[in-house]
């Protein structure tokens, strides 16, 4: 079931504008992906072609093709009696992906040491404080408004690293799993939230001191810990929440 939000309401009733050089199907796939990543279509939730066609003001044909595109990318699965649903990743998939992500982000942190400015370091510290304060103020089940600050922290470091291929590889892994799940972990688990904040602080301290080895090691440990927490969440809930 698609959750209605102000953003999706603005698209209803009118044609979906394709971006420059993009096809309608590509544009629809990107919009549906954004809804999944933000939790508007929850993990295990069905993607109803008629509902999505009405939402975006198009026929079912491009919706069907967009869903097929997302299925080929591994974000959606098609089951005989349920149709297209947001795919539930296996815990081992999460751990494998985060193992690779940890090495990539460690490389980004190492490269960032020689390039980062004082203003950018201050921005990282500000993002981390914002992430912590917003997540601590939220209640369970609410949309995680702190996610932007957490994403900004990692995105800034990847950008400062100055390697476009590295940045794209990190983004590809991040796009494999809905972001709202990892965000809810920070909201609902105060211990995980405190650890996440402290890990970010250590990364900033290493970057500020110019210690490339420590910056890489701290980032690697942080991402591995995040992957373990996310994998445990799927282990504990997948059979009851998504298939029960």
CATH class of 91-242: mainly alpha
For the chain, the straight-line distance linking the first and the last C-alpha, in angstroms and rounded, comes to 16
pLDDT of residue 2: 55
Token representation of residue 99: 């193992």
In the block, residue with structure tokens 């690779």: 100
- Which residues lie closer than 8 Å to 62 by C-beta, 6 or more apart? 24, 25, 28
Q: What is the CA radius of gyration of the chain?
A: 19
List of the chain residues with pLDDT < 50? 1, 4-21, 140-143, 240-244
pLDDT of residue 178: 76
Token representation of residue 181: 């799940």
Instruction: Spell out the domain ranges in the chain.
Output: 6-86, 91-242
CA distance 240 to 244: 5
Buried b / exposed e along 171-186 (16+ C-beta atoms within 10 A):
eebbebbbbbbbbbbb
pLDDT of residue 149: 82
pLDDT of residue 233: 84
Q: pTM of the predicted model, to two decimals?
A: 0.76
pLDDT of residue 190: 85
**CB count in 10 Å sphere of residue 212:** 16
pLDDT of residue 239: 54
Determine whether domain 6-86 maps to CATH 1.10.10.10.
Answer: yes
């Amino acid at each position: 079931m698609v959750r209605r939000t102000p953003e999706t309401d603005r698209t209803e009733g009118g044609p979906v504008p394709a971006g420059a050089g993009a096809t309608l199907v590509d544009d629809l796939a990107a919009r549906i992906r954004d809804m999944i990543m933000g939790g508007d279509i929850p993990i295990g939730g069905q993607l109803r072609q008629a509902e999505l066609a009405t939402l975006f003001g198009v026929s079912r044909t491009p919706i069907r093709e967009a869903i097929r595109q997302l299925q080929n990318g591994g974000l959606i699965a098609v089951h005989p009696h349920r149709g297209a649903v947001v795919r539930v990743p296996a815990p081992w998939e999460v751990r494998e992906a985060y193992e690779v992500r940890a090495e990539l982000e460690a490389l980004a942190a190492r490269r960032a040491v020689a390039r980062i400015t004082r203003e950018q370091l201050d921005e990282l510290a500000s993002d981390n404080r914002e992430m912590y304060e917003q997540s601590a103020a939220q209640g369970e089940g609410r949309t995680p408004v702190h996610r932007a600050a957490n994403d900004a922290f990692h995105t800034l470091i990847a950008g400062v690293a100055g390697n476009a291929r590295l940045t794209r590889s990190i983004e590809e892994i991040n796009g494999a799993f809905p972001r709202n799940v990892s965000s809810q972990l920070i909201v609902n688990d105060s211990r995980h939230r405190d650890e996440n904040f402290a890990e970010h602080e250590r990364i900033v301290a290493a970057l500020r001191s110019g210690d490339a080895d420590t910056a890489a090691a701290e980032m690697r440990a942080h991402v591995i810990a995040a992957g373990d927490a996310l994998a445990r969440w799927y282990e504990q809930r997948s059979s009851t929440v998504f298939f029960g």
